[in-house]
Chain A
Amino acid sequence: MDTLLSGQLLFSALVIGSVYALTGLGLNLVYGTMRLLNIAHGDLAMLGAYLAFWLFSLGQVSPLVAAPLAVIGAAGLGALAYFGLFQRQIERAPAVEKLEANSLLLFLGLSVIVQNVASLAFTASPRAVTYLDSIYRIGGVSMTANRLVILGVSTLICIATALFLRYSVYGLAIKALIQNRSAASVVGVNVGRIQLASMMIGFGLAGLAGALLSMAEQISPFMGFPFTIAAFVVIIMGGLGNLLGGVLAGFLLGFVEIYGVVLTSSNARSIILYGVFVGVLLLRPQGLLGGRRIAR
């Protein structure tokens, strides 16, 4: 019981939860505005992680400097994917269902390509760096600096994105698109530009999550998929376009995972993650669209 109440565990749950919230936020934007179910979302985090890893181990560049670069790089890939593949798909799709199915298969293909190119280029063996691993003790809880940074930056970016969506014209346009596509274009939202922006921001957030994570966790070419699954859980539980709900769902998933592992064994981690995922989808079989469509 003591271990369950310890601040240590709470801290771990908050850290992983904030990363889940961040990745979920990105997927939410991409799916919400374009109905593109990006199964390669976690692979962008993997690319961000490798960027930070190589810059640090080859050039001694701090992962904190690499993080904005990862955002820019991933956003660039978002623009590339948008213009190269998905703009045409969105414009030509006869129906939303067809677009969803096709985009899923396209992203599946891209995911396999990216993972295996990474595995060829970087080898499949896991890698890790030690950066900011000095330990702080606050209120009896020891925290490494890198995890504090992960928690702080992820939370800040989540809040900043929420504020951006709430108060800026762009943010409002993104929400309008999530709520009702055709009505948004009628009232003068430049759909094409907003889609591009959403894709770039969504991809960028995933890249950021990866770069942050590389400071504290092992990375490998195949690390992405659990994050994709976590992001799906986050947006299905939180609701489409509901950013606050998504962030809460991210933290909740972090708690379930960390406390679940403590109560059972570390081998159960994947069972818990996929179990929650399967459970959530079985309880909400309509997926996102069946839920209340909040976009406040």
Chain B
Amino acid sequence: MTRLSPWPSLALLACAVGIGLPWLIGDYYLTVALNLAMWIALTQSWTILSGMAGYISLGHVVFFGIGAYCVVVTWQALPLFAAIPLAGLVAAVFAAVTGAPVLRVRGPYFVILTFGIAELVKYIVINIEASSGQASRLLFGTPSVKDLYLVMLALAVAATALAWAVRRSRLGSGLIAIREDEEAAQTFGVPVTRFKVYAFVLAAVIPGMAGGTFVLRSTYFETMQVFDPVISFSIVTMAIIGGSDDARGPVLGAGFLVVLSELLWSTLPQLYLIVLGTLLVVFVLFLPGGLVGLLTRHKRMVAR
């Protein structure tokens, strides 16, 4: 007997509730929901390259930071409906330009290279800002939490749909083939380099826009904050905890960690990061499939 999967209807329900949320809850919880949407958008985007092709990026914050910087630089010179897509575009262009050389580097070297690039860009932006004599910038007259939340929600939905669509496309199959065995994939005619660069660009667009939206929410810009390596680390941890083989994984991972961070971050940020590190170690050791792996395993056992 084939049973319809409950997940598409659940996803639709979640979208409907998501859109209605600003009229149901107060500003505090709306900010939490905004955070949740942001992390879902970031983690889903991350899985397009790092989950499917297995090129684990530890520098995803670079796109987020570039996007944020774009919106800040064009603040009050460009209307926001142009500035936020522009942020995504600039992040994508950065990925396209750096993609080919960066994606020649493989395995663990790719991981530390992405980290190095993110730090390099961070220090370059810090120097640019320092030479213009500004440590941080304040943004006045930013949109309301409600509007920003709706933008972030749209980004989360778009990222989830994108990850879902890519996984079912020729590109997705090619990327998974690259993850399993890059040489074999190349031999069988997968355009390896082109596919990896496509995935890198697709993984960059939404984080760029999310960064632009985030900086409007926080109403000030500090380079250290939007390029914080902790953001990259959180993305990786959310994807590993949730599981990156499935569009449900990042949602679960992000949800879990956003709740945890609400409980711990404001009071004890170090403790939050210690818990994050511990969870990463535990999941890598004992639950490599993440929460989604646990779900599917349970389902298989029930089916038996």
Which residues of A come within 8 Å of B, CB atoms?
37, 39, 85, 97, 100-102, 104-106, 108-113, 115-117, 119-120, 229, 232, 236, 267-268, 270-271, 274-275, 277-278, 281-282, 285-287
Contact = CB atoms under 8 A, between A and B. Distances in A.
Interface in B118-158: 119-120, 123-124, 126-127, 130
A171 to B, nearest CB: 26
20 contacts: A37-B108, A97-B107, A101-B107, A104-B108, A104-B111, A112-B280, A113-B273, A116-B273, A229-B112, A270-B119, A274-B117, A277-B116, A278-B113, A281-B109, A281-B112, A282-B102, A282-B104, A282-B113, A287-B107, A287-B108
B120 A282 contact: no
B298 interface: no
Contacts, number: 114
A168 to B, nearest CB: 30
Contacts of A281: 105, 109, 112-113, 116
Contacts of A37: 108, 112
Given A105-B240, A112-B276, A113-B274, A275 B120 contact: yes
Given A116-B277, A282-B104, 4 more contacts: A111-B277, A271-B120, A274-B123, A285-B104
Contacts of B12: none
Interface in B67-113: 101-102, 104-109, 111-113
Interface in B259-304: 268, 270-271, 273-274, 276-281, 284-285
Contact of B281 (A100, A110, A236, A278): A110
A105 B280 CA distance: 7
Contacts of A113: 273-274, 277-278, 281
Contact of A112 (B107, B233, B240, B268): B233
Contacts of A117: 270, 274
Chain B residues touching A, majority SS? helix
B231 interface: no
B33 to A, nearest CB: 26
Given A274-B119, A278-B113, A120 B280 contact: no
8 closest A-B pairs by beta carbon, nearest first, are A112-B277, A109-B280, A287-B109, A113-B277, A274-B120, A109-B281, A285-B104, A116-B270
Contacts of B202: none
Contacts of A119: 270
A273 to B, nearest CB: 9
B112 A285 contact: no
Contacts of A267: 126-127, 130
B20 to A, nearest CB: 37
B56 interface: yes
B277 A270 contact: no
Nearest to A270: B123
Given A100-B107, A113-B274, A113-B278, A282 B127 contact: no
B190 interface: no
B58 interface: yes
B236 interface: yes
Nearest to B278: A113
B107 A106 contact: no
A108 B232 CA distance: 12
A278 B112 CA distance: 9
Contacts of A271: 120, 123-124, 127
A92 to B, nearest CB: 11
Contacts of B117: 274, 278
B271 to A, nearest CB: 7
Contacts of A106: 280-281, 284-285
Contacts of A268: 127
Contacts of B101: 282, 285
Contacts of A102: 284
Interface string B215-239: 0000000000000000001001000
Contacts of A105: 56, 236, 240, 280, 284
Contacts of B58: 108
Contacts of A275: 120
Contacts of B104: 282, 285
A207 B120 CA distance: 26
A39 B277 contact: no
A129 to B, nearest CB: 24
A282 B127 CA distance: 23
A116 B274 contact: yes
B278 to A, nearest CB: 6
A115 B124 CA distance: 25
Question: Which of A102, A116, A229, A286 has its CB near the most chain B CB atoms (within 10 A)?
Answer: A116
A278 B120 contact: yes
Given A106-B285, A109-B278, A287-B106, A101 B116 contact: no
Given A120-B270, A267-B130, A287-B108, A274 B116 contact: yes
Contact of B108 (A100, A115, A120): A100
B24 to A, nearest CB: 36
A110 B277 contact: yes
B112 A232 contact: yes
Question: Which of B127, B236, B276, B281 has its CB near the most chain A CB atoms (within 10 A)?
Answer: B281
Contacts of B107: 97, 100-101, 287
Contacts of A116: 270-271, 273-274, 277
Nearest to B117: A278
B284 A287 contact: no
A277 B270 CA distance: 28
